[in-house]
Structure 1
Amino acid sequence: MTEFPEGAPCWVDAMFTDVEGAKSFYADVLGWTFGDASGEYGNYTQAYKDGKAVAAVVPPMPGADAPSQWCLYLASSNAAATAEKIKDAGGELLMEPMQVGAFGTMAIAKEPSGAVFGVWQPGEHKGFERMGEAGSYAWAEVFSRDVAKADAFLPKVFPYGEQQMDAGDDPEMAGMDFKVFSLGGKENPVLGRMNMGTDFPPEIPSYVQVYFGVDDCDEAVAKTKKHGGKLHFGPMDSPFGRFAAVADPQGAAFAVIDMSKTTGEMPKFD
Structure 2
Amino acid sequence: MTESAARHTPGTPCWESLMVHGMAATQKFYGALFGWEFLPGPQQLGPYVRALLDGHEVAGIGHLPADRHLPIAWTPYLATDDAHATAEMIRHCGGTVAVGPLDAGEAGRLAIASDPAGAVFGIWQAAAHAGAAVKGVPGTPVWNELVTRDTASVGKFYQHLFGYEEEAVVSADFDYLTLHLDGRPVAGVHGVGNALPRDLGAHWMTYFEVEDTDDTVQRVVELGGHVLRPARDGGHGRMATVADPEGAAFTVVRSAR
**Is TM > 0.5 for Structure 1 vs Structure 2?**
yes
8 Å contact from structure 2 (residues 43, 104) kept in 1: no
* Pairs within 5 Å for 1:1-270: 1-36=5-40, 42-61=46-65, 63-167=67-171, 175-185=173-183, 188-259=184-255, 261=256
Identity %: 34
Displacement after TM superposition at 1:41 (Å): 5.5
* Residue of structure 2 equivalent to 1:266: none
Separation (CA, whole Å) in 1 of partners of 2:72 and 2:153: 25
Q: Where is the strand percentage greater, Structure 1 or Structure 2?
A: 2
SS at match of 2:40: coil
Residue type of the alignment partner of 2:179: F
Q: How many residues align?
A: 253
Contact 1:209–1:254 (8 Å) recurs in 2:
yes
TM value normalised by structure 1:
0.89
Give the gaps of 5 or more residues in structure 2: none
- How far residue 152 of structure 1 moved from its aligned partner, in angstroms, is 1.6
Post-superposition Cα deviations, 1:179-214, rounded to whole Å, max 9, x if no partner, equal 1000012xx000100012344433330000000111
Q: 1:238-269 CA distances to partner (integer Å, 9 max, x unpaired)?
A: 2211111111010111111111x46xxxxxxx
Change (3 A) 1:110 1:2: same
Whole-angstrom distance in 1 between the partners of 2:95 and 2:218: 38
The change in CA–CA distance for 1:115 and 1:190 in structure 2 (over 3 A counts) is same
**Structure 1, residues 124-170: CA drift from partner, whole Å, max 9, x if none?**
01001011111101000000124322112010001200000134xxx
- SS of corresponding position for 1:20: helix
Q: Distance in 1 between matches of 2:153 and 2:196?
A: 19
Aligned-partner residue type, residue 245 of structure 1? T
Relative to structure 1, the CA distance from residue 39 to residue 147 in structure 2 (aligned partners, 3 Å threshold; closer, same or farther) is: closer
Cα distance in 1, alignment partners of residues 126 and 246 from structure 2 = 29
Runs of 4+ in 1 over 4 A off after TM superposition: 37-41
Deviation at 1:96, TM superposition (A): 2.5
Which residue identity is paired with 2:98?
Answer: L
Deviations 1:77-106 (A, max 9, x none): 000010111111111111121111111000
Letter in 1 for 2:251: A
RMSD: 1.7
Moved more, 156-165 or 223-232: 223-232
The alpha-carbon deviation at position 50 of structure 1 amounts to: 1.0
Structure 1 residue 123, shift from structure 2 partner: 0.7
User: Does the residue aligned with 2:193 lie in a helix, a strand or coil?
Assistant: coil
